[in-house]
Amino acid sequence: MLSLTSVRTLLMLSTVGLAVLAPPLDSLARSRREPAVEAPPAPPAPPVGLSDRFVADAAAYQAYIERVSAVSPAFSSGAGVADGLRTSAAYEPRALIRGAVAYGAVAALASPTFVASVRAAATSEDNRRIILGYLVSDPNYATAFAGSDVAAGLAKEALMSSGARLVATGKVIKASAYSVQHQAWSKELVIDPSGRLAAVEAAASGGLTPASDHEATLRSAAAGGPALPITARAEDKPYGPLVLRALQLAAIAALGEAGDEAYGRLNAATPDADSEACLHMVRLNLNQCLAVAKPHYEDIFCMGQHAMTDTGACLVKSSMVEVAPPPPPYVAPVVKPKAATTTHKKRRRHK
């Protein structure tokens, strides 16, 4: 028989064996827990680019500048003058401003430092939405990003050079209003002055003429493809209203947020009051000039001075800090005939 001591020893050994073989309670609890679920990666940022509506505005603007700059001063008939008038006057002020801003934004997006700086700031979807709100509410926010001075310089050069093209063409057309007068047809009266004025006004009522053939190049340039053939130096602040709006749109495009929603928000209000007032004054001066013009060569003058030169001057001035209205309409000087003069001989005084 086993002694009491031997029994106790066996019980102790069996207890120790069970303790060694049994898993710890906390490990059993851990084994019953759900496996840890990792958070999904953040969605990639939307690509850089402009929506179709912005691209269409930029294309229409670019095509308008090209068409007007191609008007030849070698007019040979009243019909040719009427065509030139319709071509140069075919814009509505707000549509021209929208196109100029979109075209300037395409140019500004050629600054890789600016685009990278904007995208680096949007570290999350929430940050991107916050930055978008700041940009929409205040275009000056776009100047806070690195490379904004280079982007602004590109936008300014794009807008000022297109305005300068109109000014240069307008001066040539205006000069031809004098040289063409040796041709008999140029001194003939416009047959239907009111109809001609109505045609010019109708040409501007629908905004800018669409130019789908220009869209592919501009869309690619806005998305990081080959840039527009524009070179410029960095531009220090402050910026003109059109340049600032172009920089604002470029920053939104760099975020990948320049879609139809942004198009509606940015164009809901007046894009720039001073630029719009300048262009409205141009339209008024053009209509007044045509209202009093009689022979065809006077229509050529109205085209060169108001439809071209003054429109281009508004674009140039709106790309700088100060915006001034165009000069008042031209009024031909009135030459008064000289009054007849009589000579009186002095009478000799007799002493």
Kindly report the three-state secondary structure assignment for every residue of 73-123: CCCCCHHHHHHHHHHHCCCCHHHHHHHHHHHHHHHHCCCHHHHHHHHHHCC
Q: What is the pLDDT of residue 331?
A: 54
Q: What is the pLDDT of residue 261?
A: 86
State the pTM of this model.
0.80
Q: What is the DSSP letter of 145?
A: S
Phi, psi of 50 (to 5 degrees): -115, 145
How far is it, in rounded angstroms, from Cα 252 to Cα 256?
Answer: 7
Q: What is the pLDDT of residue 315?
A: 97
| Boundaries of domain holding 261 | 52-318
Q: How many residues does the chain have?
A: 351
Q: Where are the alpha helices (DSSP H) in 293-337?
A: 296-302, 311-318
Label residues 267-294 b or e (16+ Cβ within 10 Å = b): beeebbebbbebbebbbebbbebbeebe
β-bridge partners, 189 = 295
Q: What is the pLDDT of residue 45?
A: 82
Give the C-alpha distances (Å, rounded to integers) separating 233 from 148, 151, 155, 304, 337.
12, 9, 11, 31, 56
Q: Is residue 27 part of a domain?
A: no
Q: Is residue 176 part of a domain?
A: yes
Q: What is the pLDDT of residue 207?
A: 85
Residue 178 Cα to chain centre, angstroms:
36
Phi, psi of 48 (to 5 degrees): -70, 140
Beta-strand runs (E) in the chain = none
Q: Which residue has the tokens 């004098």?
A: 178
Q: What is the pLDDT of residue 3?
A: 55
Q: What is the DSSP letter of 208?
A: S
Q: Is residue 345 part of a domain?
A: no
Phi, psi of 338 (to 5 degrees): -70, 135
Regions in the chain scoring below 70 on pLDDT: 1-42, 269-271, 322-351
Domain count, the chain: 1
Q: What is the pLDDT of residue 7?
A: 46
Q: Is residue 336 part of a domain?
A: no
Peptide bond before 35: cis, by omega within 30 degrees of 0? no
Q: Is residue 287 part of a domain?
A: yes
Q: Is residue 2 part of a domain?
A: no
Give the C-alpha distances (Å, rounded to integers) separating 102 from 137, 229, 244, 343.
18, 16, 11, 71
Q: What is the pLDDT of residue 42?
A: 64
CA angle 198, 201, 202 (to 5 degrees): 85
Amino acid at 349: R
Q: Is residue 325 part of a domain?
A: no
How far is it, in rounded angstroms, from Cα 154 to Cα 246?
Answer: 10
How far is it, in rounded angstroms, from Cα 85 to Cα 126?
Answer: 51
How far is it, in rounded angstroms, from Cα 174 to Cα 306?
Answer: 10
Are 159 and 319 within 8 A, CB to CB?
yes
